[in-house]
Chains A and B, each alone.
Chain A
Amino acid sequence: MRKSHGYSIITGPEIRAIEEDFFVCSHCQKTTFVKPMCDPVELGGWCGPCHALICKDCVGKDCAPFMKKIEKAEAKAAITRNWGI
């Protein structure tokens, strides 16, 4: 995979080391492992508005980048904390 989001390796006494690439969904942060030569449709999809890979579960849903969700949640928590709620 070009521009993989990370690297994974499985090791054990009875196997050869298995290396895998993966990507992290831009909308939910789910990690999806990429099999060599697999059909891209089976992996998930591409979100045009945020210009990033997304997992199968997020395909067909509105663009909701994960970092935006976190920023929103943190802002909401800060307000409730400041108000002492």
Chain B
Amino acid sequence: MAQYNFSNLLGGTQQNLTTTFKTITYAVATTGATTLRRGWIKEVEVGADGAPNAADTTIVYSWDRTTADGTGTSVTPPPIDASDAAALLTYKANYTGEPTVTANTGLLVLALNQRNSQRVSYEDDKCLVIPATNLAGIVGRAKSAIFASTVVFNQYMRE
């Protein structure tokens, strides 16, 4: 199984956070002869890369399931092992138009101080599964009441 490094630094313009969720990463299977297959989120790492706000504040990170896409920049995550084939799922980052998120599907929710970062690594058989179904993907989103700069999402994906 090939592993890929998916980050919102791969393409597009990083968007400043607001008080409502902003989608930073999106991984999904899309209908096509070769691309409709399952994906797994093996590991996530998040943190702010913009300058911290003078007021102490939190950033909420959330991974949720979706039913429809929004407006983001397509990116191509490189394989960790250079001899693996290119990624076949659809990957997008730095959204300017929000995808449709399925309510109450917070697969992973983290509330972190703006100065902190977190790494979450799943066991091999417990990774978050992206089904081989058109547009049923997983988004990584973030919001903050005060922090209004940019964050970095880094995800290790398996296909």
Chain B residues with CB under 8 A of A9: 118-119
Does A24 belong to the interface (CB within 8 Å)? yes
**How far, in angstroms, from A29 to B130 measured CA to CA in the complex?**
11
Does B19 belong to the interface (CB within 8 Å)? no
Residues of A1-56 at the interface with B, using a CB-CB cut-off of 8 Å, are 4-15, 22-24, 28-31
* Residues 105-133 of chain B, each 1 if its beta carbon lies under 8 Å from chain A, else 0: 11111001101111111110010110111
Asked whether, in the complex, the Cβ of A66 is within 8 Å of the Cβ of B129, the reply is yes
Quick one: given A6-B126, A66-B129, are A11 and B116 in contact (CB under 8 Å)? yes
Quick one: given A5-B126, A73-B131, A74-B131, are A15 and B121 in contact (CB under 8 Å)? no
From residue A63, how far is it (CB to closest CB) to chain B in Å? 18
From B31, B123, B131, give the contact of A70 (CB < 8 A): B131
Quick one: given A24-B126, A29-B128, are A10 and B116 in contact (CB under 8 Å)? yes
Chain B residues with CB under 8 A of A66: 129
Residues of B5-30 at the interface with A, using a CB-CB cut-off of 8 Å, are none
Chain A residues with CB under 8 A of B122: 5-6, 24
**How far, in angstroms, from A76 to B115 measured CA to CA in the complex?**
45
From B116, B123, B133, give the contact of A73 (CB < 8 A): B133
Does B134 belong to the interface (CB within 8 Å)? yes
From residue A17, how far is it (CB to closest CB) to chain B in Å? 10
Chain B residues with CB under 8 A of A73: 131, 133, 136
Does A81 belong to the interface (CB within 8 Å)? yes
Chain A residues with CB under 8 A of B119: 8-9, 11
**How far, in angstroms, from A24 to B42 measured CA to CA in the complex?**
12
Quick one: given A29-B129, A67-B129, A74-B132, are A5 and B116 in contact (CB under 8 Å)? no
From residue B12, how far is it (CB to closest CB) to chain A in Å? 26
Task: Provide a sorted-by-A list of 12 A–B residue pairs whose CB atoms are within 8 angstroms.
Answer: A5-B122, A10-B112, A10-B117, A11-B117, A11-B118, A12-B113, A24-B128, A29-B107, A30-B108, A70-B131, A74-B131, A74-B132
